Chain A
């Protein structure tokens, strides 16, 4: 006779065609990354379907918001990864975003290079500038590193006005080829949405793979105590240079996407203190070293921002920042800490030790 019971967080079906089946019921043992990724993939379609059937209009603004959440994810994923590998918090990530945006726009508009080429160029320029600036991760720390990285976007901001003939100041560089132009607004929006999602996913998977490898362990050692790590042979300066260079290139890719998404690129729109605050708050509220948490935090914050802005205007934005400040205190380990309370330092790889079987 078939017997069904739940025991120790498991659903057990016994004696079903002479076999016994067990499934883990407790959510933390599920293959959660796969479930989360599928939910991430399906969510835009669900949002579109529900909104259209409920209100009878196409949620253009909402889909644009989701695109922005993906762009923010690209930035915060790179910033979080960079923070682990360098042990320093970069206050100028939007500098690299603008660098990528300008590179893509200038090369496309002035030289007619297609988006595939400008993608490579944007990553390369971001990485080269990152490599040039990377010694600051070795020679400076604390307030000096913060000030250095904080000043970089301001310099680019001023340059955008000083050479407005090249950078177009607040008007930006118009006429950049869009990645998709099918003539169907909704189709284009979905194509942009899934392209940005794909880029964010690729970045996330690369960082996740690295963090789960031996290099992730070495990065964690550098992050926790750089001097100690060096005493035990970890080449911390090399790790910091490589990480800073690569993540700078990845941040520039976010700028490349924006240029080819909006059909123009205006640095001053992105080189703002508000953009910096949004990136830093998202990255911090994601949870320390929480790569998956970056995407979750980006989505929560961007959607909350749009809801508050559309319902309460400037007051809503003020409320958003107050909410985020409160969350910093209430959730010191971020949104990811809610999910993985027991082991929130996700950035250390796990070494599985097989226990000896009792014969």
Chain B
């Protein structure tokens, strides 16, 4: 065996190495890793139609007040926006980093962005990767502001609405918001975002987002 190998010249040895690597490749699997995923489009459509894909701002507020810790709240906005304000208990993960991020299989993941579009897209990515407990915050941060931080009540509220507003007012104060009663003098009050009181969250490293360029030779 040894003498056989020594008889080969360098080219033949290299060819043998290439062949060996080629044979191993048959069993080594797919190099594309998790970048590609298969999805059950019907199942996803069903989840969306049944509205099992999102939670409302009020539900989330309740959870935070109750001190629940069985969820992870993901802020998809930029680091700068995150520094300015984020929903308490949120952590900042950018959309591009999300696909490299591994959550526990059964973890409840709640996504939010400024509106609802980015979180919906991120939700799709996570579901495609097999995370079945991913949810979006309905209406995103905008709705959080409208419903929780600066809730309003209509001009002629029904008793039910008044009752609900009384409750929301407490919730709003908890989060440092300022409920708008809808009266004239209140309308002009500037809505200032509350100072962050919760301990600062660890921010994962943020990749720079590049514009798509034309490439190739």
Q: Do A and B bind each other?
A: no
Chain B positions near chain A (C-beta within 8 angstroms):
none
